Each structure stands twice: as structure tokens, then as C-alpha cells.
Amino acid sequence: MESTNSAILTSTDGLETAPTKFIEAGGTNFAYRTIGVANGVPLVLLQHFTGTMDYWDPAVVNELARHRSVIVFDNAGVGASSGQVPDNVEQMAVDAVAFIGALGLRQVDLLGYSLGGMVAQVVAAKHPALVRKVILANTAHQGGGNDLMKVLQAAMSQKQYPDPRMVLFFNDSQDGIDAGQAFLKRVYARQENRDPEGGPDVANAQAKAIIVFSTTQDPENTLLKAITQPVLIVTGSNDTMLPTDSSYAMFRILKNAQLVMYPDSNHGAIFQYHDRFVQDVEAFLSR
Amino acid sequence: MESTNSAILTSTDGLETAPTKFIEAGGTNFAYRTIGVANGVPLVLLQHFTGTMDYWDPAVVNELARHRSVIVFDNAGVGASSGQVPDNVEQMAVDAVAFIGALGLRQVDLLGYSLGGMVAQVVAAKHPALVRKVILANTAHQGGGNDLMKVLQAAMSQKQYPDPRMVLFFNDSQDGIDAGQAFLKRVYARQENRDPEGGPDVANAQAKAIIVFSTTQDPENTLLKAITQPVLIVTGSNDTMLPTDSSYAMFRILKNAQLVMYPDSNHGAIFQYHDRFVQDVEAFLSR
């Protein structure tokens, strides 16, 4: 089943220059950008804690957009979108589905990164007809635990790197540092119409959502067992924010999952290994 | 560093028809076959419990041989090779290195499957200059545990499938059964000059080697920490013989490993998902 609206999904721009567009759904004015061309099932990206559309890596987004339309957006209350950031993953999923519906898309693939991966789990479980395949990147399952506060505190209190993502996303090894610096260059490549940064209200509501989701026990794994779509799980060898163990646990619980883990990498594994990640996602989406 | 002996490494045959050749090393007459063309670093395959060269899957071997020379062989005392099967992994590693040396190869990649993966760990740790990259498929680390005897007993006592590999290698799901039947067709495709099957002496010595290796605790992970080469670890979601957990543990311990796990699959995961496996190995060896 393909999109009903191919005009909306075709763009000649990369992520660095794609114009920000807006669409209204359920009282929220959602900001979004499309990269790539309408071709089969579009891929919708679900973003991490405090991240806007400008936090995605062009090396991932533009390469994935070679064969499909990739849609990035600010969920309710984030970046250039209107509305309030909800303090729970379930409402973020409701908002994401409203946005997808407003675009007229009948079937999508989801790539959820970190907090976005939690939202992707809920959307996939609740909307089996809407979601064809799911990529869960550097994320955790219900009850999978998190070290968000500890890791954030350490990243904010260090003075070595002005951008905390150097510490949050990459290992303190030469490969990690090199990858982090290359990543930051890529995400700052966009010069015009960057999204507004979020304030403490965004961070507080999203932090609560992550902490509640990843510490709420789901002993019967009700959520993961409700996901019937094929899932690709990807993470780093040493994710200090959302534990690598949680990705392994998800793989063991999900009915139809493939697991990929990269060496010497942290919460930003998919950006550090953007070439491998794009290759792995391509293989997963095309088979 | 490439092979010094490209004539020996080039073959126009697939695994099903490649002639069996022999080379002497350390008093053992080793049987081997080469598939593919001399091109860069050759890939040497290390075989599983009681397996001969005919137990490899042509869908894996022939596809991997599109871009390189793939070498399969019977280790000492197995199949068409002379000599005694040692009852320990360390001596199997010594024998494999003697075989590789006799071919005049100065650098190789290793693909070790099951017992062969244990042998590959020892060869890689002891011979950093000889081994460039290592693929550890459906295998376990020292102390990783095994259910060999329990699983063998169940496979031998069932009457449904004449070939126990249907039970040992594949899940009892429709996908697993279909994959198993397709696999058996492929491995029986060779009509002429099949290897002799091994007797109880092969099985007994190899079983002892597997059990001792996978139940000998290595609390400091001395063996894995001595492996400095890039490693690709691949296994199934539910390996009932050598536990999936052991592959995850190896990934966490090794310095430079990538992990891939396939859905709904058992000890024969790399044969069930031969297309994905070849793609993953290609990406790993070529980057």
C-alpha cells in the first residue's frame, strides 16, 4: 500500500536545505520536512529527547532517502511545532499517528531513535495496519531501565565539549571522538530556518516520559508481544543512557526481530556507523 | 598481504563439484577444496561437530566465493583427511594452522561455525599476523556453556526426520522446517566424491573438545581479550546447542566486534538466512 499523496513526499533537497512545511492535525500545527522521492512505503523518523528536526544526521537521512521518502517532523510542542509536549510516551504516539494521518499516509515504516524508539513501539503495537516495519535504534523497552539523569548530569557538568552530545552519544575513545566531531559538523550544516531550540518544559516532560516508560515493569512483555511487524534493533556496544542489555532483551522477546550491534559505540551508534546503519536499514526495508 | 599461491586458490567449480585436493602438513594428509578466485585475502572455513566438507551449505560458500577464494577442508582425522581427531580445541587449532601454512597462505580470514568457531577463536588469538578478520557463527566462548548432549539425544531419538540436522539446526516453526528442507537439498547436491562419514571416534573426541571448551571457565576472558582482529558474531534467536546468550557475551567482551542475530532461528541460523548472512559477511570483509 503506497502513499496517496506523492506530491507531498517528493523533495530535491537534502536534510540540510529541505524547507520546513506545516500541517495541522488535532489542533497541533506540525512542522515537518520531506527528503527523497515518493517510492513505496515512506519512512517516518521519531526523534530523541529534546531533539528537533535539526538533530538528525544528514549522513543517515539523505542516504536513506535515495530510495524512498524520508519524513522528519517535530512532535507536538517540540521545535517549530505548536502544542504542548506530553509527559508520557502513549500521548506522543497518539500525536505521531495524528501527524501521519494528516499527511494522508496509509502505511509507513518507522525509525525510532532513543525516546523515538519508545514511541515507535507504542505506534507499531497499536496500529498494525499503519506500520509495515520498525527500526528501533539505541532505545529501550518498558522496564528496560535507563541512566538518563546520571548521564545527563555528567554530560552537562563536563567542560571539555560545548555540545553535550560528544559525551552523551560517543565513547571516549579516539574512534568515538572522531565520530562525534564529524557528526556535529554534519548536524550543524543547515544554515537557514533551523528549528527553535526547546526550553526546560520540553526537557522536563520528555525526561518524565522516558523515565516512566523505561522503569515501568511489563513482566508479561505485553507491549513487545503486541508488535507483529518485522523489527530491526540496532544499538552500540556500550549505550550508557539506554542500556545495550535492553536491546538484547527486546530481541529475545519480539516475535520477528533482527539484532545488530556495532563495536566501540555509545548512544550515538547509528551516527558513528552511519554507513553500516544505512546499509543495514536498506537491507531490512528492501527484503 | 595476499596469498603467495594464486594457482591453488582459483577454481571454476562450485562447492558441489569442486575436486577434493590433498596437501601434507605435519604428518597429516589434509583434504581440501577451493571455490572462487584468488583475490585479496582468502577465507578459510572451520567446520562443526562431525561435519565434513560436504556439510557446508553451497548457498553460503558459492556466494561468498564470488569475490574471493573460499577454502573448505577436513581437519585432522575428519572426512577424507588422514590422522586422528584430537579431543581438544587447542590441538584442532594447531592442525588448522599447519594446513593453512602448507598452502603457503600468509594471511587469511576465518569463518568458524559452531565447534569451528571455537577453533577460530584460538587461531585468531594465537596468530594475530596470520588472521586478518574472524566470523564467529553459532558458536560459544570458553565457559559459555552448551547443551550438546541433551540436544543430540533429542535429535537422535526423534523419528520424524531421518537427518538430525532438521532438529539440531532449525526451529520447529513453518519457516524453520521450510529452511531445513531447502538446506538439506543444497548440502546433498554433490553427487561425486563425497567425503567419507566419520565414525564414533570422531564424534566422541569432538564432543569432548566442545564440552571441555564451553564449560571451562575463563573468568578473566583471557582468550577473547587476546583477539585483536575485527570480529563479526552471528547467531540465531534461539540456538539450543550453543546458547545465544554466549554470542551476546562474546560481543560485550571482545574489543572490536559487531553482532548480528537473526529471527526465529536455531543453530543453523546462517544457513536459514543464507542471503542475509552472505550480505553481512561481505559487508564485514570488504569494509
Query: B121-154: per-residue pLDDT in tens?
Result: 999 999 999 999 999 999 999 999 889 999 999 9
B101: left (phi over 0), alpha (psi -120 to 50) or beta: alpha
What cell does B83 get? 590422522
Determine, for residues B258 and A255 on separate chains, whether the beta-carbon distance falls below 8 Å.
no
B256, B260, B261: residue with CB nearest A264:
B256
Q: Does A260 touch chain B (CB under 8 A)?
A: yes
Determine, for residues A237 and B251 on separate chains, whether the beta-carbon distance falls below 8 Å.
yes
Question: pLDDT class for B5, splitting at 50, 70, 90?
Answer: low
Q: Which amino acid is at B16?
A: E
Tally Cβ neighbours within 10 Å of residue B125: 19
With 70 as the cut, is the pLDDT of residue A5 above it? Answer: no
What residues contact B101, with CB distance under 8 A and at least 6 apart? B25
CA distance B144 to chain A (A): 17
- Contact, A137 vs A112, CB < 8 A? yes
Q: Does A228 touch chain B (CB under 8 A)?
A: no
Closest chain B residue to A287, measured at CA? B276
What cell does A190 get? 543547515
Q: Does A185 touch chain B (CB under 8 A)?
A: no
Q: Which amino acid is at B93?
A: A
Determine, for residues B283 and A287 on separate chains, whether the beta-carbon distance falls below 8 Å.
no
Question: pLDDT class for A9, splitting at 50, 70, 90?
Answer: confident
B256, B259, B263: residue with CB nearest A261:
B259
B248, B256, B283: residue with CB nearest A263:
B256
Q: List, for residues A191-214, the tens digit of each pLDDT value.
A: 999 999 999 999 999 999 999 999
What phi and psi, each to the nearest 5 degrees, are found at residue A286? Answer: -95, -10
- Contact, A81 vs A29, CB < 8 A? yes
Cα B226 to Cα B94, B235, B256, distances in angstroms: 17, 22, 11
Q: What angle do CA A86, A271, A130 make, to 5 degrees?
A: 50
What does pTM read for this prediction?
0.94
Q: Does B256 touch chain A (CB under 8 A)?
A: yes
Count CB pairs under 8 A between chains A and B. Answer: 49
- Residue B9's pLDDT is 82
Q: List, for residues B105-129, the tens digit of each pLDDT value.
A: 999 999 999 999 999 999 999 999 9
Closest chain B residue to A276, measured at CA? B283
Q: Which residues of chain A neighbour B259 with C-beta distances below 8 Å?
A: 259-261
Q: Does A253 touch chain B (CB under 8 A)?
A: no
With 60 as the cut, is the pLDDT of residue A180 above it? Answer: yes
CA distance B276 to chain A (A): 8
Question: pLDDT class for A2, splitting at 50, 70, 90?
Answer: very low
- How would you classify the pairing of strands A43-46 and A108-113? parallel
Q: List, for residues A124-136, the tens digit of each pLDDT value.
A: 999 999 999 999 9
Q: List, for residues B229-272, the tens digit of each pLDDT value.
A: 999 999 999 999 999 999 999 999 999 999 999 999 999 999 99
Q: Does A263 touch chain B (CB under 8 A)?
A: yes
Closest chain A residue to B269, measured at CA? A258
Closest chain B residue to A252, measured at CA? B237
- Residue B3's pLDDT is 44
Determine, for residues A260 and B262 on separate chains, whether the beta-carbon distance falls below 8 Å.
no
- Residue A3's pLDDT is 44
- Contact, A25 vs A155, CB < 8 A? no
- Residue A249's pLDDT is 97
Identify the CA nearest to A179 among candidates A265, A262, A252: A265
Q: How far apart are the first and last CA of chain A?
A: 16
CA distance A276 to chain B (A): 8
Q: What is the DSSP string of B127-179?
A: -TTTEEEEEEES---TT----HHHHHHHHHH--S-SSTHHHHHS-SSHHHHHH
β-pair partners for B57: none
Determine, for residues B259 and A259 on separate chains, whether the beta-carbon distance falls below 8 Å.
yes
Determine, for residues B237 and A255 on separate chains, whether the beta-carbon distance falls below 8 Å.
no
CA distance A210 to chain B (A): 25
CA distance A12 to chain B (A): 29
- Please give the mean pLDDT across all residues of chain A: 95
- Contact, B271 vs B168, CB < 8 A? no
CA B60 to CA B56: how far, in whole Å?
Answer: 8
Q: How many CA atoms lie less than 13 Å away from B180 in the CB half-sphere? A: 21
What residues contact B68, with CB distance under 8 A and at least 6 apart? B36, B37, B39, B40, B41, B42, B43, B285
- Residue B7's pLDDT is 72
Q: Which of A228, A240, A251 to mutate to test binding with chain B, by most B CBs within 10 Å of its CB? A: A251
CA distance A120 to chain B (A): 19
DSSP state at residue B225: H
List % helix, strand, coil for chain B (3-state, nearest 5).
Answer: 40, 15, 45
Segment A229-256 mean pLDDT:
97
CA B197 to CA B203: how far, in whole Å?
Answer: 11
Give the per-residue SS3 of A211-279: HHHHHCCCCCCHHHHCCCCCEEEEEECCCCCCCHHHHHHHHHHCCCEEEEEECCCCCCHHHHCHHHHHH
Q: Which of A244, A258, A287 to mutate to test binding with chain B, by most B CBs within 10 Å of its CB? A: A258
Q: Kindly state the percentage of chain A with pLDDT values over 70.
A: 98
With 90 as the cut, is the pLDDT of residue A182 above it? Answer: yes
- Contact, A148 vs A49, CB < 8 A? yes
